[in-house]
Amino acid sequence: MAASSPAIHTVDLSKRFGSTVALTGLSMTVPRGEIFGFLGPNGAGKTTSVKLLLGLLKPTSGEAWLLGETIGDLKTRNRIGYLPELFRYQGWLDAREVLALHCELAPLERSTWKEEITKALATVGLTDRADDRVSTFSKGMQQRLGLAAALLGRPELVFLDEPTSALDPVGRHDVREIIRGLSARGTAVFLNSHLLSEVEQVCDRVAVVDHGRVIASGTMDELLSGTAVRVRVGGLDGAARTKLAGFGPLDDEGEHLTFTKLDVERVPELVSTIVALGGRIYEVAPRHQTLEDRFLQLLHEEEKS
Amino acid sequence: MLVVSLAPAADVAKYAADLGAETLVPPVLVFARLTIQEASRRRLLLALLVLTLLVVGFSAWGFHKITTVTRSDGTLLPPTQVTLITSQLLIVVTFMYSGVLALSAAVVAGPLISSEVESGLLLSMLARPVRRSEVVIGKWLGLAVLVFVYAAGSAFLELAAVNWATGYLPPHPIELVLYVAAEGLSLLSLGLVLSTRLSGITGGVIALVAWLMAWIAGVVGDIGAGLQNSALQNVGTISHLLLPTDGLWRGAVYAMEPDVILAALRAAGTAGRANPFSAVDPPPNAFLAWVVVWFALMLTLAIWSFRTREI
C-alpha cells in the first residue's frame, strides 16, 4: 500500500473475553508521524487495544490496518516498535545481546546491528550498562531497555504502553524527549497512558477511553477548549456541595473544588451561590481546562449517562 | 496437520530470499539457540555435567568391584558371570539416566512457554515478524538438541567407564542412545504441549505423573503377558500408544541385553516378560512408526494450542 496510508486505522474494533467487554466499537485514524495519546483509567481497554492492533489478540469484530496492511500481517511488523506494559527481558542476556536478539527477529541487516544498538542504547541512556546482565537491572532500567528495543530499525510506528510506569521524573522527561524525536523523524507514536500530564505535554491528538469505549477524541486544542474554575473554600458541608451540581462536573478535593468545565461568565454566580450556602471563599482561579479537568469531566459525564 | 508443522521450515528459504540477506538466521533457529543459551547461562548444563561425571565415577568404581569380587573358594568370578552381572547392573544404571533425562525434560519443558507468557517475556518478541509456530518449533528443537547431546554424552562416558572397568559393552550402544533420547524427547514434547496452556508447575507435574503412570502401565501389561490376560495386556499396549516412554525404555533395555540373557528370557517363556527391566524382543516397527507420528501430533497440537491462545 501507499506510504500515505495512515499509521493506524480502525473500524468498529471490538473485543470480548467471554461475557466481559474489553473494547467496543473502536474507530480511529492516526496519521503518519503523529503522537497519539490513548488515555483512560486502569482497566479501560487501553492495553487490549494495543494487543489487538499488534495481532497478539484476535478481535471479536471489526477491522484494523497498520501502515496500510491488515492487522496481524507478519511483514508489517518489521516496521513497528513495541514496548509492552508488562515488560520483561531475558535476565541471562546482557543489554546489548537483548537488542541484538530484537535486531535479529526484526529482522535488520546484520551489518546495521552495531550502529542501531549503539544508537538505541545512547538514546535511552544505557550505554554504560550495555554489557551488564539484564538480571542486574532495576525496573526502570529494564523499561529503558524495552524502549531501546522498540526504537531499533527506525520503525514507522511505535506503540508505547505506559512507557514511564517505572521511571523517575528524569526518566519521564527523557521519554518525552524520545517521543518528540520519533515524531520529528516521521514515526507515528501510539502512547498508552493514564498519566495525563505526560500525554498533555507530548501528544498531538488524544482519545479518551473508558469501559472499552472511546468517550472523546480530538486534538488537544479541540479537547481542551473550555475553562475550569478552581475555588478554595471553607464551611461547606456535603449537602451544600451537592447543591453546586448546577455548575457542571465537580472535582471535590475537600478545601479545593474544581469545576472542570465552567464558563468564566458564570463565576460571579458561582461565588454568590457558595456564599449563600454559608461557604467562605479564599480564592477563585479560572484557568484553561487541563487534560486532567477534561478527563475528569468526561468520566463524570460517562458515569451519569 | 503436516502443513502446519512444516510451514516454518518451508519459510526458511523464502525468508532469506525475501530479505536478500543470507546472513540472517530464521526465527526457528533463533529460538532454538536462545533455548540452549538459556540452559547454558542458567548453569543447567554445568549442573548436569558435574552430576553425570560424579555418577560415572561412582559407577565405574562399582563396576570395577564386580571384577575383583572373590567367591567362597577364593577365586574371582568367571568372565561370563561378570558379563551377566554387569549387563544387568548397566540396565539399572541406565534407568537412572533415562529417569534424570525424563525428569529434566519435563521440568524444563513445563514452563517453556507458559512462564514467558506470564512474565511478558514473549510479548515484545511476538510483536516482531515471528510466527507462533516458529516459537514452538524453535524451543522444541533447542531442547531436543540438549536431550540428544545429554543422552549421547552420558552414554558415551558411562559405557566407556563400564568398558574400562569390566571389558563389557552392550550389544547395541547406538540404539541405546537413540531410545533413551527419544524417551526424553517424548516427555519434552508432552511438557511443551501442556506449557502452551498450563502454568509451568502444573504442566511439569502432569508430565512427570504421566511418565510414571506409563511405566506402571507397562509393568501391568507385562503381568498381563505373563498371565496371558488380554485385558491387562491391553493396558500396556494403550499406554505405549498414549505416551511411548515405556515402549522406548524397553527398546533401550533390549539394546543392552547380551545374547545369553535373551536366551535365558526366551527359555523362561511368558514369565520372562514380566519385568520392567527386561525385554525379549525389540520394539516392533509399527510402534516406532507410531512414535514418529506421535511426535508430529504433539508438535502440531502444541502449535495449534499456542496459536489459538490469547496473550
pLDDT at residue number B169 = 94
Contacts of B125 in chain A (CB under 8 A): 101-102, 105
Contacts of A78 in chain B (CB under 8 A): 128-129
Question: Taking CB atoms and an 8 Å limit, are A86 and B311 in contact across chains?
Answer: no
B209-223: pLDDT as tens digits: 999 999 999 989 988
* Residue B234, SS3 per DSSP: helix
* Residue carrying the nine cell digits 517424548: B186
A272-290: pLDDT as tens digits: 999 999 999 999 988 887 7
DSSP state of A87: -
* Residue B7, SS3 per DSSP: helix
Output phi, psi for B291, to 5 deg. Answer: -60, -40
State the average pLDDT for chain A. 90
Give the residue from chain B lying closest to A89, CA to CA.
Answer: B121
pLDDT at residue number B194 = 96
Question: Taking CB atoms and an 8 Å limit, are B24 and A74 in contact across chains?
Answer: no
Of A56-60, A213-217, A291-295, B112-116, the one with minimum mean pLDDT is A291-295
Question: Taking CB atoms and an 8 Å limit, are A105 and B128 in contact across chains?
Answer: yes
Residues of chain B with pLDDT under 70: 1-23, 271-272
DSSP character string of A181-196: HHHHTT-EEEEEES-H
* Residue carrying the nine cell digits 527477529: A105
pLDDT at residue number A148 = 97
CA dihedral of B177, B179, B181, B182, whole degrees rounded to 10? 160
Question: Taking CB atoms and an 8 Å limit, are B21 and A107 in contact across chains?
Answer: yes
Question: Taking CB atoms and an 8 Å limit, are A107 and B119 in contact across chains?
Answer: no
Cα A166 to chain center, whole Å? 15
Contacts of B24 in chain A (CB under 8 A): 104, 107, 109-110
The average pLDDT across A71-92 equals: 94
For A229, residues 6+ apart whose C-beta sits below 8 A from its C-beta are A258, A259, A262, A264, A267, A270, A284, A285, A286, A287
Beta strands in A162-249 (DSSP E): 188-193, 205-210, 213-219, 227-234
Q: Which long-range contacts (CB under 8 A, 24 or more apart) does B76-83 make?
A: B79/B167, B80/B260, B82/B166, B82/B168, B83/B166, B83/B168, B83/B258, B83/B260
pLDDT at residue number A104 = 95
Helices and strands: H and E segment counts in chain A: 10, 14
Task: Identify any residues that bridge with A158 across adjacent strands, giving them in sequence order.
Answer: A81, A189
Mutate to test the interface with B, among A23, A66, A80, A104 (most CBs of B within 10 A): A104
Question: Taking CB atoms and an 8 Å limit, are B128 and A149 in contact across chains?
Answer: no
Alpha helices in A17-94 (DSSP H): 46-54
DSSP state of A203: -
| Residues on A contacting B at a C-beta cutoff of 8 Å | 17, 51, 54-58, 74-75, 77-78, 80, 82-84, 86-90, 92-93, 101-102, 104-107, 109-110, 146, 149-150, 159
pLDDT band at A295 (very low <50, low <70, confident <90, very high): confident
A221-256: pLDDT as tens digits: 788 777 888 999 998 888 888 888 888 888 888 889
CA pair distance A202, A180, nearest whole angstrom: 7
pLDDT at residue number B1 = 37
Contacts of A109 in chain B (CB under 8 A): 19, 21, 24
B127-179: pLDDT as tens digits: 999 999 999 999 999 999 999 999 999 999 999 999 999 999 999 999 999 99
A232 with A281: CB under 8 angstroms?
yes
pLDDT at residue number B248 = 96
pLDDT at residue number B2 = 39
For A149, residues 6+ apart whose C-beta sits below 8 A from its C-beta are A81, A83, A89, A98, A99, A102, A120, B124
pLDDT at residue number A215 = 85
ipTM over cut 0.90: no
* Residue A262, SS3 per DSSP: coil
A118-144: pLDDT as tens digits: 999 999 999 999 999 999 999 999 999
Give the residue from chain B lying closest to A53, CA to CA.
Answer: B127
Question: Percent of chain A beyond pLDDT 70?
Answer: 99
Across the A/B interface, how many CB contacts are shorter than 8 Å?
Answer: 82
pLDDT band at A216 (very low <50, low <70, confident <90, very high): confident
C-alpha cell at A164: 514511564
Residue A77: HSE in the Cβ half-sphere, 13 Å Cα cutoff? 23
DSSP state of A135: G
